[in-house]
Structure 1
Amino acid sequence: MDKEESVTLAGEIMLDFAAQTGVSREDKPQRRYLWTDAFAVCNFLELYHHSQDEKWLLLALRLVDQVHQTLGRHRPDTAKSGWLSGLSEEAGERHPTRGGLRIGKKMEERAPDEPMDERLEWERDGQYYHYLTKWMRALTRTSRVTGEACYLRWGMELAQTAHRAFRFSDGPDGALGLHWKMSGDLRRSLVPSVGQHDPLDGLVTCCEMVCAARHFPDQELPELGREIGELTQMCRSRDFSTSDSLGIGGILVDACRTGELIINEAFQDLALFQCMVNDALLSLEDLGPGFIDQPAKYRLAFRELGLSIGLKGTARLARLFEEYPDVRGGELAEWLQPRLEAMLWFQKMSGKIERFWIEEKRKGTEHWRSHGDINMVMLATSLAPGQFLRAN
């Protein structure tokens, strides 16, 4: 499938998503889910970038507003109402991310006196740090495409809020970490365990927002120095390798974005970048290509599509350093070359993953429909990943 065919199919998928989840049709109830919607905003922006058709930009902006109006407020089935931040209606409209954003799960979050049920916790609402970072990215890309600083400001305010709420210090040495899941009002931890890649994703995203702020020199935007410093500290000597296909895709995407930030002199920690690349390659080699030959019932589309998106990021990273080989005196490109060549060997998996799930979507199988919204959106991202992978 060539690029034009991929973009065309991505557009068809996103129009279907917009109609089904209430973005484009007022007669459809809204189904807002933060992870899915963050990818969707980037997809709409990429389709606008490719075609210059205003309908895609309008869908992106409408979805941003719907997410803030829905997930930035308390659930309608609870006693609380209004913005999660507790701000007045008027102030909340100006700062819709100051209280964070709910996940969008169907079940209400666990009550303070309710015992933990690990299985049910996956179905309950609250706030995830790694979902918030995805929304920060969506807002940053919206700001760059529209030239309007308000979206970047909301992303940076969300970064401050998330860091303040999820950050904890533990142990005799005061080691810093990020809780996995917080309550909707960010007042209590629901799952205290630490996400393996959350600090890395937060660091790269904060650096990206600081880089984007250069394009708005006349704007007073939030400072993220403390957040970047502490997230860097959390990433020190951390093992990012994983056997999870979605996690591997996430490291590859972060490596792609970090490479672009290094080229733009917006990321200084080369040792951390090299760690990302090494751990991503190790994870790919351990995973191997065999898993994509299994029947659909043993596979999850959105997790595999996350890997496919990451592999597209590897190809983009290789192109960037071909275009800018002299960054940091050329030593970085020389170090990268053999590792990128090794990672690009896995590139063929991306096409196989896409073709498999395009066929499952066409047939409307249960394995596709069980996570239909997120599957649609991440397939579209894999087909047209430009805006999701960009860091500047």
Structure 2
Amino acid sequence: MHREENVTLAGEIMLDFAALTGVSREEKPQRRYLWTDAFAVCNFLELYHRTQDEQWLLLALRLVDQVHQTLGRHRPDSAKSGWLSGLGAEEGERHPTRGGLRIGKKMEERAPDEPMDERLEWERDGQYFHYLTKWMRALTRTSRVTGDACYLRWGMELAQTAHRAFRFSGPDGELGLHWKMSGDLRRSLVPSVGQHDPLDGLVTCCEMLCAARHFPDQELPDLEQEIGELTQMCRGRDFSTSDSLGIGGILVDACRTGQLIVNEAFQDLALFQRMVHDAISSLEDTGSGFLDQPAKYRLAFRELGLSIGLKGAARLLRLFEEYPDVRGGELAEWLQPRLEEMLWFHKLSGRIEEFWIEEMRKRTEHWRSHGDINMVMLATSLAPGQFLRTD
């Protein structure tokens, strides 16, 4: 598909999403889910950037407000009420992310005295660190597009809150991040450590500090401590994975990091090289055999995450072709053959999109079972600009 056709289809998908989930139609019950909504905000901003049609910007801002008003507060079926942060009504409106944001799962979170059921835990509410970082990105892009520093401030306050709540120190003193916390951030629901959470947190915090340069007259939160500790968590870590969504995530982080390096907002070149190396290794090990499987054995949003990451790899190659002399040119020289090797896989992106566009148009049950997240991630893959940009 041509770029214009991609944007048109992405627009159609996002209009459907807005109507179905209560963003554009007040009579429709809201269906807020943090991961999905973070991608959706970036999609609305990209459509605004491409078309200059104000409706897309209004949808992005409306969705930001809905997420804060819904997921920044306790569930309607909870014994607690108000903002997760415990702030009063007016102060909570000024700082809606100070208590974090709920995932948006249908089932309430596990009670303190309730035994853990690993299968049910996937369906229960709480807070995920890697969902919070996606929302930080959405707020950062909203701030850059609108020129309003309040969105960036909310993202940075969320970073401080999340880091403080999820961070732990093991018996050997090694720092890590819990996988899942309760809605009030007072107890760990899943203590295991997410493989890519520290990396995603680090890149996102560096991105927010870079964005803060555009608001020199604003007093914004300081994230140096968070960046230092997240850097420590990333050192010596193996990011390779066989999960298509995880591979896409590494590629997206590498793309964002490359842009931060060009903007002199990321200094750890060894970590950047590790991202690229592990992404290539993961792609080579995974291959493309999954594309031959029928839809019922595949998950659209996981494959579309890989497709988005492959778009990021192509963007990264173009970036260092445009700025070949960054860090004396040695980085571009090291990077080019590796990215060209990675781009051999770029054709997978088109095949993934074509397959799931057809499934979407057939409205198969398999597509509709994860309809909201499938829709927004397909739209992101078709028009990924704002999701991949850091400046």
TM-score bracket for the superposition, by shorter chain length: over 0.9
In the other structure, the counterpart of 2:220 is 221
Partner in structure 2 of residue 138 of structure 1: 138
* 1:195-251 Cα distance to aligned partner (Å, 9 max, x none): 000000000000000000000000000000000000000000000000000000000
Q: How does 1:264-283 map to 2 (within 5 A)?
A: 264-283=263-282
Q: Secondary structure at the match of 2:141?
A: helix
Q: Shift of residue 379 of structure 1?
A: 0.1
Per-residue CA deviations over 1:300-327 (Å, capped at 9, x if unaligned) read 0000000000000000000100000000
SS at match of 1:180: strand
Aligned to 1:315: 314
Indicate yes or no: 2:71 matched with 1:71. Answer: yes
| Secondary structure of residue in 2 paired with 1:28 | coil
Q: Deviations over 1:335-374 (max 9, x none)?
A: 0011001100000000000000000000011110010000
Aligned twin of 1:328: 327
Name the counterpart of 1:390.
389
In the aligned structure 1, how far is the partner of 2:142 from the partner of 2:97?
15
Q: What residue number does 1:234 align with?
A: 233
Letter in 2 for 1:311: L
Residue 302 of structure 1 is matched in structure 2 by 301
Alignment of 1:14-163 (within 5 A): 14-163=14-163
| Residues in 1 aligned to 2:57 and 2:266: alpha-carbon distance in whole angstroms | 29
Deviation at 1:290, TM superposition (A): 1.3
Partners of 1:351 and 1:61 in 2: how far apart? 31
Q: CA deviation at 1:35?
A: 0.0
Counterpart residue type for residue 9 of structure 2:
L
Distance 1:47 1:364 in 2: 24
Amino acid at match of 2:388: L
SS at match of 1:101: coil
Q: Cα distance, 1:298 vs. partner?
A: 0.5
Task: Show the counterpart of 1:374.
Answer: 373
TM-score scaled by length of structure 2: 1.00
Instruction: State the AA in 2 paired with 1:193.
Output: S
After TM superposition, give the deviation of residue 375 of structure 1 in Å: 0.1
Shift in Å, 1:151 = 0.1
Give the stretch that moved more between structures: 17-26 or 290-299.
290-299
Query: What RMSD over aligned residues (CA atoms) do the two structures have, in Å?
Result: 0.3
1:286 match: 285
What percent identity do the matched residue pairs reach?
89
How many angstroms does 1:293 deviate by?
A: 1.2
SS at match of 1:237: coil
Deviation track 1:36-55 (CA, whole Å, cap 9, x = no partner) reads: 00000000000000000000
Kindly report structure 1 stretches of 4+ aligned residues shifted beyond 4 Å: none
Question: Match for 1:2: what amino acid?
Answer: H
Task: For residue 168 of structure 1, give the secondary structure of its aligned residue in structure 2.
Answer: strand
Residue of structure 1 equivalent to 2:205: 206
Q: Identify the residue that residue 246 of structure 1 maps to in structure 2.
A: 245
- 1:186 is aligned to 185
Q: Deviations over 1:95-145 (max 9, x none)?
A: 000000000000000000000000000000000000000000000000000
Secondary structure of 1:220 counterpart = coil
Q: What CA distance in whole angstroms lies between the structure 2 residues aligned with 1:286 and 1:341?
A: 17
Deviations 1:16-74 (A, max 9, x none): 00000000001100000000000000000000000000000000000000000000000
**CA shift at 1:171, angstroms?**
1.9
Structure 2: gaps spanning 5 or more residues: none
Amino acid at match of 1:91: E
Equivalent position SS for 1:357: helix
User: Could you tell me which residue of structure 2 aligns to residue 353 of structure 1?
Assistant: 352
Alpha-carbon offset, residue 183 of structure 1 = 0.1
Deviation at 1:154, TM superposition (A): 0.1
Aligned-partner Cα distance in 1 for 2:366–2:55: 31
Equivalent residue pairs, number: 391
Report the equivalent of 2:13: 13
Is the partner of 2:191 in helix, strand or coil?
Answer: strand
**Aligned amino acid, residue 316 of structure 1:** R
**Offset at residue 258 of structure 1 (A):** 0.1
**Equivalent residue for 1:4?**
4
Q: Distance in 1 between matches of 2:262 and 2:121?
A: 41
SS in 2 for 1:130: helix
Question: With structure 1 as the length reference, what TM-score do the two structures score?
Answer: 1.00
Offset, 1:289: 1.1
Paired residue secondary structure (2:208): helix
Measure how far apart 1:285 and its partner are: 0.3
Summarize deviations over 1:275-306 as a string: whole Å, max 9, x none.
Answer: 00000000000010111111001100000000
Structure 1 match to 2:167: 167
> What amino acid sits opposite 2:163 in the alignment?
H
